[in-house]
A and B are shown apart, each in its own frame.
Chain A
Amino acid sequence: MDQTTQPVLDIRGLTVRLPIRADRENAIEDVSFSVLPHEILCVVGESGSGKSVTAHTVMGLLPPKQLTATAGQVLLQGDDLLKKTPGEMRALRGARMSMIFQEPMTALNPLMSIGDQIEEILQIHTEMSARERLARVIEVMEAVKLPEPERLVHSYPHQLSGGQRQRVMIAGALALEPALLIADEPTTALDVTTQAQILKLIKDIQRTHGTAVLFITHDFGVVAEIADRVVVMQHGLVVEQGEAKAVLRNPQHPYTRMLISAVPSMTPPARPPKADAPVVLETQDLCKTYRDRSLFRAARETRAAHNVELSVRRGETLGIVGESGSGKSTVARCIVRLISPTSGQILIDGHDIAGLSASRLRENRRLVQIVFQDPYRSLNPRRSVGASIVEGPMNFGVGKAEAQTRARDLMKLVDLDPNSLDRFPHQFSGGQRQRICIARALAMEPDVLIADEAVSALDVSVQAQVLELLDDVRKRFNLAILFITHDLRVAAQICDRIAVMYKGEIVERGPAAEVFRAPSHEYTQALFNAAPGRDFEFGSFATA
């Protein structure tokens, strides 16, 4: 085999055993794939598929004594990594293979300057002088297109944006020109526009440096954007692999087909306008300003939301789309009155609740309910789900027996076993918990349901089901839904109308179909252009 076709990374029959009493015997079983030079290989799978375990095995980063590779080979340019001593692995990491992680904030040391962190790698692995090292640091920082590298070397991680931090991570990973770069969900924690830039950067680097990239992701949009080849994993097994285009267009395995069809389309389906339904929720000039008061300097003001005007009709879903820091969650929390707006009005069925006192507010709590993003923190872990569901109705004087009956009905409605009401949150999966949260919100018989990134933490297949459930309850109870998301695909599928928020203000609004077809504001256009895999219509398979 000559140098060009020998794989950089060749995994053969790799099996990693889980600790006893786990839900399955092996984290990954008989996994085989290879990464060729000049290639980006995407490993796709949902949570628990074993994709991260595979990456960590290659890097030798498995938690010792808990996970152990029991069979197979991991060949990096022909060397079996499983036979290396810890010392030999240390020499390889950073030099011939390196890894970037999901959270660029926690992956960087907050107490070390950016330059020192990149330089550390050179210091450990090379004999370079201090001057040479600094020159190389500047060089790689330029390569990852960090602005003003000479100034930035002295900065600390908190002074950088999320995207810049991820660039620093990549710079560190590339400092020694490794043959293999492993990227474990490197863009999942980033905004869409930043994600687009980082993906482009990784692609550029792979092209110019010839680095082989093993890219772990759960997002088929990302796959469509950058992958040369794809490996699909499920429950620790490789179920399908092949050329990216072929797999996306013509998936063979039913699981792959399911995953790809679950990716929401960027084209909103036709929805009848609901112009004649009464307006349930309306905000006027809603502002939320945070004042950072300090004794010794002038007060700083942060305008989290500014003059937000929106209205939702009965039976309608309004989407608020925006990136982190755009103020979309602030608006949601103001409407639920978890925080008090600085000024403006919030009209529920025509009554202003923006300035109500605590006791008057409590009487109106029933009308607006919220479902949060994180299913693991939305339910009190110490209380049975039944107790969580009946808590609200019983606050409003519903008898215990009646509340219980309603809770059983709601469990049926959200497709869960009514007999599991006395179980505790940890006994349910993420998707199930989100269903319970929806049931809890519905138990109050609200007029307005706010879903604050309610499906963002879920796997794509579960996401599709929860979206369907939300749309179903909207129709059944004629609810007004305020759907807050950063995910344009999700917004396209569920929203009747869309409002785009940017820096605390609504910059564009309109029927979903129109906004998606012809975005008018330049920020909206940038946002839409950044959506990964936007040109790819998922689920329109070639007839197999």
Chain B
Amino acid sequence: MSAIADRDANRSGLRERLAEFRRNVLSRHPTMAIGGVLLILMILGAVFAPLLFTVDPIALNPIQRLRGPGAAQWFGTDMFGRDIYSRTIYGTRISLFVGLAAAVLSIAIGLVIGLLAGYVRLLDTILMRVMDGLMAIPGILLAIALVSLSGASLVTVTVAITIPEIPRVVRLVRAIVLSVREEPYVEAAVAAGTRLPLILIRHILPNTIPPLIVQATYVCASAMLTESILGFLGAGTPPEIPSWGNIMAEGRTYFQIAPWIIFFPGALLALTVLAVNVLGDGLRDTLDPRIAKKM
């Protein structure tokens, strides 16, 4: 009985917090709400792609090739008669997967390296020189090299996109660690005999979370772009998996007679990246109002 009452209390507490979130955040940053809603729609579209009136995205139908957008094929068809609408919707899966996976992976790896580099002076020089080395190579070039070394697949593309993003996360985390480690409360924990891993997790890591969430959105947006570029250059996911990049690559030669092949995946890519960036800006403003004022 009391457990139910507790749960109800929790639920109404949650409802109040949601209402407060709406009042304080969404009303002050409406663009962030728009970005968030767009992104949620994209994710839903990617997950439920088979239910969204799509046909098999790789089914060839030469009779219907290069049809313009119309009632039968909303976004038209390509040179093999494949339905652009279906291909674009299925392509969302690749872009979002690569974007989110690259964001999560680069933040997770960068966080660990950054914490160690910032706190353990001995590791700092070594780790940061490796990061400098990584940063010296253009991200796309590094990704192309990694993909061509290990063969194109969703996993290799994701890894290839994640690695060039790591140094920036490391630098961000390290900078925060360097300032927080001087805080008296960290020194008090050292004086109290707290072990290194606990100091890092308990006292230092929480300070890095807000800027990292913001950084994650930027990584996500840039990873989606990189994925499309790789696809466009033919170094992305294999042709049998439709992605926005390789749809556009295939449409490139037909651009003058069938511009819709490039237009729709391109527009969706722009919209998604915009949504993620707008969400990131809003998060930055709410999580760290001081930075917001400076920028």
Contacts and interface: CB of A to CB of B under 8 A. Distances in A.
Given A338-B187, A372-B187, A440-B188, A380 B203 contact: yes
A271 interface: no
Interface string B181-218: 00111011111111100000011001000000000000
A324 interface: no
Interface string A352-379: 0000000000110110111011100111
Interface string B55-74: 00000000000000000000
A395 B189 CA distance: 10
Contacts of A388: 185, 188
B191 A377 contact: no
Given A380-B203, A382-B206, A383-B202, A365 B191 contact: yes
Nearest to A373: B184
A388 B185 CA distance: 9
A396 interface: yes
B121 to A, nearest CB: 12
Contact of B191 (A368, A374, A383, A396): A368
Given A377-B184, A383-B202, A338 B190 contact: yes
Contacts of A382: 206
A305 interface: no
Q: How large is the interface on B (under 10, 10 to 19, 20 to 34, 35 or more residues)?
A: 10 to 19
B188 A370 contact: yes
Nearest to B190: A338
Contacts of A437: 188
Interface in A388-411: 388, 391-392, 395-396
A438 B267 CA distance: 61
B211 to A, nearest CB: 15
A366 B191 CA distance: 8
Contacts of A28: none
A336 B186 CA distance: 13
A372 B192 contact: no
Name the residue in A368, A383, A396 with the highest tally of chain B Cβ atoms < 10 Å from its Cβ.
Answer: A383
B147 to A, nearest CB: 40
Given A377-B183, A380-B203, A382-B206, A372 B188 contact: yes
A369 B187 CA distance: 11
A377 B192 contact: no
B203 A338 contact: no
A378 B184 CA distance: 5
A391 B189 contact: yes
Interface in A419-446: 437, 440, 444
Interface string B160-200: 00000000000000000000000111011111111100000
A380 B181 CA distance: 12
Name the residue in B187, B188, B190 with the highest tally of chain A Cβ atoms < 10 Å from its Cβ.
Answer: B188
Interface residues of A, number: 27
A380 B185 contact: yes
Contacts of A370: 187-188, 191
Interface string A84-128: 000000000000000000000000000000000000000000000
B194 A377 contact: no
B191 A378 contact: no
Nearest to B192: A392
A396 B185 contact: no
Contact of A362 (B183, B193, B203, B206): B193
Nearest to A396: B193
Contacts of A440: 188, 192
A427 to B, nearest CB: 16
Given A380-B203, A382-B206, A383-B202, A369 B191 contact: yes
Nearest to B193: A365
Contacts of B184: 372-374, 377-378
Contacts of B190: 338, 365
Nearest to A395: B193
A382 B205 CA distance: 11
A379 B192 contact: no
B129 to A, nearest CB: 16
A378 B193 contact: no
Contacts of B185: 377-380, 388
Contacts of B192: 365, 369, 391-392, 395, 440, 444
Contacts of B188: 370, 372, 378-379, 388, 437, 440
Name the residue in A374, A377, A379 with the highest tally of chain B Cβ atoms < 10 Å from its Cβ.
Answer: A377
A369 B188 CA distance: 8
Contacts of A368: 191
A382 B180 CA distance: 13
Contacts of A373: 184
A440 B189 CA distance: 10
Contacts of B191: 336-338, 365, 368-370
A166 to B, nearest CB: 26
Contacts of B203: 380
Given A370-B191, A440-B192, 17 more contacts: A336-B187, A336-B191, A338-B187, A338-B190, A365-B192, A369-B191, A370-B187, A372-B187, A373-B184, A377-B183, A378-B188, A379-B185, A379-B188, A380-B189, A391-B202, A392-B193, A395-B192
List 10 A-B pairs, minimum CB-CB distance, nearest first. A392-B192, A365-B193, A372-B184, A378-B184, A395-B193, A380-B185, A362-B193, A377-B184, A382-B206, A336-B191
Interface of B: 183-185, 187-195, 202-203, 206
30 contacts: A336-B187, A338-B187, A338-B190, A338-B191, A362-B195, A363-B193, A365-B191, A365-B193, A369-B191, A370-B187, A370-B188, A372-B184, A373-B184, A377-B185, A378-B188, A379-B188, A380-B185, A380-B202, A388-B185, A388-B188, A391-B189, A391-B192, A391-B194, A391-B202, A392-B192, A395-B193, A395-B194, A395-B195, A396-B193, A444-B192
